[in-house]
Structures are given as structure tokens and as C-alpha cells.
Amino acid sequence: MASKVIKNSYWVIPGEIMAGPFPGSSEEFNAKLRVRSLFDAGIRAFINLQEEGEMVARDEKYNENYWDFFRLFLKNSGEEEIEGGAIRRFSVPDKNVPSVELMKKILDEIDMLHAKKIPIYIHCWGGIGRTATVVGCWMMRHGIADRSTVLDEIFTLRQIGVDPAYLGLRSPETDEQERFVLAWKKGE
């Protein structure tokens, strides 16, 4: 299994949970290519951490409806969309953290999909701030990492699939996001 499915994506749990940037593009061909790569890697559910309309606010050429391509690939392969839909949106403003209650809902949704063996792609805009915050809290919840290792674990995971130009970027992106992850407790 290829570690790098789309640029700057990475497997949190190989074949099960992947994280990275917005899977669409301002160019339809590239959007289809990116979504097809995720589809071919087995991804069948998306945790979208972006606010409604966020991509259009950045650039009107962006089509947030990458799931239209995803649904087309599902239909053409003879598969049905998972119950409740393939796209689960949890709006978190860019460079911010969700409330504790919202993070618990996000993590519960990831756990529910993971328990059903549905491969998941977690994303925000760049896959650096909000996405790493969710990944870090998920790792803390499950004891995969603790306060002393979680930020290094995220750094290590990102080394595998991230373009060298992005390796120096902090992930999570802000002090507030780092503090939020470090405060998360096992089982929370």
C-alpha cells in the first residue's frame, strides 16, 4: 500500500485512518484525480473539519463538492454509500480548536466508523492544524501516544507522506491547538 496517496496526506493507521489536506482542487481534473486516489486507497468516509463555504471564500474556483466525484466513483464501482453518508462535516474555524464537546463528537464519529472497518480520511484545508489536532486527540484517547510523545508521533507520521517543502511546518499549527492536544486524556 502506498504511503502517499495525495500530496501531504499520511496514514495514521495504515489502510484504516488517513489524514491530510482538502481533497478537492480548483481544477476539476485535479479534484477527480485526488478523490480517485483516495477511493483507490480504500477511503470510504470523510471527516471534514472545514466550515461551510470555506473553500469558496478562499478562491471562488474551488468546488467544495468533492463528494460528487466520490459518489460517482462509488456508483461506477457498484458500491453503495455508507449509512449516514460518506461525508461528515464538523465545522472548526481555521487555526482554531473545537469545543471539548465537539471534539468528543468528532472522535466518537471516527471511532464508530473505524469499528465498522470503514476507512476514513480526516481533513481540513491544509491538513496541518485542525487535522493534526484531531489526530493528536484521537491518539491520546486511545493511548497510542501520551503528552510526552504525541507531538513527535504526529511529526513522524507526517514525514512519510508529506512533501519536503511542508516538513518544516508546525503541526498542529498553533499554540492553542498544541495545548488542546496535550490536555486531552486517555479515554476522553
**Can you give the CATH number for the domain in which 131 is found?**
3.90.190.10
Q: pLDDT grade, residue 160 (50/70/90)? A: confident
Quick one: pLDDT at residue 174?
A: 98
Quick one: pLDDT at residue 62?
A: 64
Please spell the DSSP secondary structure of the chain, one letter per residue. Answer: --S-SSTT-EEEETTTEEEES-S--SSHHHHHHHHHHHHHTT--EEEE-SPTTHHHHH-TT--S-HHHHHHHHHHHHTPPPPTT-SEEE----TT----HHHHHHHHHHHHHHHHTT--EEEE-SSSSSHHHHHHHHHHHHTTSS-TTTHHHHHHHHHHHHS-GGGTTS-SS-SHHHHHHHHH--TT-
In a domain, 176, yes or no: yes
In a domain, 145, yes or no: yes
Answer whether residue 2 shows pLDDT above 60: no
In a domain, 58, yes or no: yes
pLDDT digits (tens, 9 = 90+) for 60-97: 566 666 778 888 888 899 998 888 888 899 999 999 99
In a domain, 133, yes or no: yes
In a domain, 24, yes or no: yes
In a domain, 2, yes or no: no
Whole domain around residue 167: which residue ranges? Answer: 10-183
Answer whether residue 1 shows pLDDT above 60: no
